[in-house]
């Protein structure tokens, strides 16, 4: 029976150490995950307090009790800091500092007064409730996935369970004058069980959040161009169908942009300047496109925009605005100031128009623009036809602006 009880007592520390090691391994694998290091520290600090409570016999000296509570405060400081950094939120310094001062003051007073062990336990439990609520609030405000809701609910559930235990301790306070009496009470065993369970559940929930973040980051890497941050061609072709369906029955605007004489930029100024030029053009592209649009780098110096609910005239104006923005924007260069121009092809697609044919025609319009002086905007011809004379005249006027 003694061996079984000892094994049960060591269950909690074993779980805490395992969770701490898991987060530490995560940090060692990816050093950018500083939140994992803080969460690891939270679990290891909790283990210290857990073991100190287990090993004490009788009512401990104030210094020993202070070590237990220092472990409690440190572990929950690191927990809330780790959760805040995991969700890219600021650490709530002022609320945490106020809660810490109040809890520490009450515990210090209880340590100096005999028979107030219940007040110490109640205060420590209240501090735990505060941290759980703060963590739950941080996660809830930053939620971006269903797993975040689950993480917030776990923290709130732990706060509710701890509150119910606090009520039981308050009602039985006269029967808990010393630590020995408390360790023999049902509150001690229930506290150990709850701590062990929530250590596992919170660890799993936070690891699930790390997994979701990793999957989302891998998806972004698979879908975006690493240099400019725009969609790559495969992701663009996947998402454009959704955008067109959402815009129906209105048309969508398609713009293809190709930087003029880009090879000359690389040969004259170097590839670093060439990369800077691509990044700047991509930024201008995003600014012109606005929210709800798709921006992609199709390859090399060729870019593409898909505008929702945009007819021919709206698409032409957007292409013209981008052409003028590129022409007026200086590109960072160690030597002489570098200015770029770009050639454009555009069209509007009805919901049942073929995207592949539109891309081919818009690309042909880009080369038509290059053949006629560059730095121009051209309407893509429909399949098997040529732009009207009126359209060509209007596009030539756009190129001359």
> Can you tell me the distance from the alpha carbon of 126 to that of 165, in angstroms, rounded to the nearest whole number?
10
Pick the catalytic residue: 301, 302, 337, 382? Answer: 301
> Are the C-beta atoms of residues 362 and 354 closer than 8 Å to each other?
no
Q: Is 347 helix (H, G, I), strand (E, B) or coil?
A: strand
Instruction: Sort strands 342-349 and 377-379 into parallel, antiparallel or unpaired.
Output: parallel
Residues 6+ apart with CB under 8 A from 221: none
Active site residue 291: no
Residues 6+ apart with CB under 8 A from 9: 54, 192
Residue with tokens 């005239």: 313
Residue 315 phi, psi dihedral angles, 5° rounding: -70, -40
Residue in 257, 308, 254 with CA at minimum distance from that of residue 280: 257
**CA angle (151, 157, 159) in 5-degree steps:** 110
Residues 6+ apart with CB under 8 A from 24: 36, 37, 40
Just list the catalytic residues. 301
């Amino acid at each position: 029976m003694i061996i079984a009880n000892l094994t049960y007592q060591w269950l909690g520390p074993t779980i805490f150490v395992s969770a701490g090691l898991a987060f530490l391994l995560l940090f060692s694998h990816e050093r950018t995950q500083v939140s994992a290091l803080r969460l690891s520290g939270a679990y290891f600090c909790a283990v210290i307090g857990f073991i100190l409570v287990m090993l004490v016999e009788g009512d401990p000296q104030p210094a020993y009790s202070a070590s237990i509570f220092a472990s409690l405060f440190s572990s929950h400081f690191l927990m809330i800091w780790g959760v805040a950094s995991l969700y890219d939120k600021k650490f709530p310094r002022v609320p945490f500092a106020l809660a810490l001062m109040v809890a520490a003051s009450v515990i210090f007073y209880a340590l100096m007064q005999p028979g107030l062990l219940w007040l110490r336990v109640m205060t420590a439990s209240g501090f735990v409730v505060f941290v759980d609520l703060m963590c739950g609030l941080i996660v809830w405000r930053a939620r971006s996935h269903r797993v975040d809701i689950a993480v917030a609910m776990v923290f709130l559930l732990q706060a509710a369970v701890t509150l119910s235990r606090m009520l039981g301790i308050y009602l039985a306070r006269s029967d808990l004058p010393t630590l020995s009496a408390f360790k023999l009470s049902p509150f001690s065993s229930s506290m150990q069980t709850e701590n062990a369970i929530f250590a596992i559940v919170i660890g799993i929930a936070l690891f699930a959040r790390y997994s979701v973040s990793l999957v989302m980051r891998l998806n972004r890497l698979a879908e975006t161009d690493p240099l400019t941050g725009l969609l790559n061609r495969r992701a663009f072709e996947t998402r454009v169908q959704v955008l067109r369906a959402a815009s129906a029955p209105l048309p969508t605007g398609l713009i293809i942009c190709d930087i003029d004489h880009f090879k000359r930029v690389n040969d004259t100024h170097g590839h670093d300047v060439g990369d800077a030029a691509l990044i700047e053009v991509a930024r201008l592209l995003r600014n012109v496109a606005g929210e709800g649009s798709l921006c992609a780098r199709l390859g090399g110096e060729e870019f593409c925009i898909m505008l929702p609910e945009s007819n021919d005239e709206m698409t032409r104006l957007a292409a013209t605005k981008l052409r003028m923005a590129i022409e007026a924007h200086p590109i960072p260069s160690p030597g002489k100031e570098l200015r770029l121009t770009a050639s454009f092809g555009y069209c509007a697609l009805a919901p049942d128009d073929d995207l592949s044919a539109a891309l081919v025609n818009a690309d042909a319009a880009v080369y038509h623009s290059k053949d006629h002086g560059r730095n121009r905007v051209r309407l893509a011809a429909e399949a098997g036809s040529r732009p009207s004379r009126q359209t060509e005249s209007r596009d030539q006027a756009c190129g001359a602006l």
